[in-house]
Amino acid sequence: MAQIELRNVGKRWGDFVGVHDFNLTIPDKEFLVLLGPSGCGKTTTMRMIAGLEDASNGDILIDGTVVNGMEPKDRDVAMVFQSYALYPNMNVYENIRFPLKVRGIDPKLHDEKVRRASAMVELDDFLHRKPAELSGGQRQRVALARAIVREPNVFLMDEPLSNLDAKLRVSTRAQIKNLSHELAVTTIYVTHDQIEAMTLADRVVVMEKGVVQQVGNPTEIYDRPANTFVAGFIGNPAMNLIEGQVRAGVFTAPGVEISGLSAPDGAATLGYRAEDASVVEFGGHINAPIYSLELLGDATMVTVRIGQTLVNVRADKSFRAEIGDAVSISVPAGICHMFDGQTGARIE
Ligand code: ATP
């Protein structure tokens, strides 16, 4: 069992703050994803938990014990990196077995443990192969098995899928999800890929510039983004955001008029998701010329331009029009998200 607690944990190098005071309790067995763009401080946060980086301030606790200053090897965490760093001269079996040797585990137990871990990642048939004789996905599974074989209290995974091609990423992602369910070990997973975050996580921490923007389960993050940063980062496509003005519950921007909103008068940013809106014959809330049309197979993504902003709507796959044609989009108040025009914070 392993509960991890971060109390005001921060990291600075000189004047530069990589991670601002981070407060979070990660309960035992939770699959937590740290999500954000490059440079937002995800890896640094994970490295501080692993003990590979000292925190500049704050305390890190594992099961109630402060671990600041404790060696990585004493923290009972296993890390999986994007570069899998396998030993090229050892075959798969020996690679997976290696952590058991290093940790002085009774050799009589090795074979059973290696076979159990390799079966979990479906590598049973590859045990005699060298890393050079494996595909990228198989190598990543060896790295996973090497973490699993240690039976750690915590898994730390830093972009483990980023070196795989798109198809393999999807299948390995499903495998990680299945494994985490089977192993039920506290896992912290770093990614900049919001789809990975949404599909894997029990809870997601969205970070930007070293600051936590929102913590929540995937549904909360998707349905109720805390600010325009989260709204513009989550979803495929991300939420449409339009800057405008609210007066007496009516939002206006060039080519846009939406009434019935509960937001105070003044500058505001309105958000809506492409899949919640619809194309209508006439009388919609957004009226603008078509900027582009993309066939998605099961639907057509229609993008229009309002002022300097591009926004889109998911239309039926049978939708027919030309670039430049006028289109009307229904965006009723009920599907809208309102954000403060200055701070970008959600208005509720
Ligand atoms: P990526 O997805 O690109 O790996 P990240 O969110 O994991 O990004 P971090 O690696 O945690 O980001 O880096 C956070 C910030 O701290 C970045 O701006 C980075 O340049 C900075 N940083 C990281 N290590 C150091 C260091 N040793 N000295 C100074 N600045 C650093």
Q: How far is the CA of 4 from the centre of ligand 1 (A)?
A: 22
Q: Which residues lie below 8 Å from residue 26, measured CB to CB, with a gap of 6+? A: 3, 4, 5, 6, 32, 186, 188
Take atom 17 of ligand 1 and give the residue whose Cα is closest: 39
Q: State residue 280's pLDDT score.
A: 95
H or E segment to which residue 143 belongs: helix 136-148
- ipTM value of the model? 0.94
Which part of the chain has CATH 2.40.50.140? 240-340
**Domain covering 4-228 assigned CATH 3.40.50.11540 in the classification:** no
pLDDT of residue 103: 87
Contact criterion met (CB below 8 Å) for 32 and 25: no
For domain 240-340, which CATH number applies: 3.30.360.10, 2.40.50.140, 3.30.420.40, 3.50.50.60?
A: 2.40.50.140
What's the pTM value of the predicted model, to 2 decimals? 0.90
Do 185 and 154 contact (CB within 8 A), yes or no?
yes
The reported pLDDT for the residue numbered 7 is 98
Ligand 1 site-directed mutation target among 16, 83, 156, most atoms within 8 Å of CB:
16
43 token code pair: 């890896």
| Residue of minimum CA distance from atom 28 in ligand 1 | 13
- Mean pLDDT in order along the chain per 10 residues (348 residues): 94 96 96 95 94 96 94 87 83 95 92 92 91 88 89 89 81 85 91 93 96 97 97 94 97 96 96 97 94 95 94 95 96 97 93
Contact 72, 241 (CB under 8 A): no
Within the chain, all domains assigned CATH 3.40.50.300 are found at: 4-228
Which atom of ligand 1 has the smallest separation from the CA of 36? 6
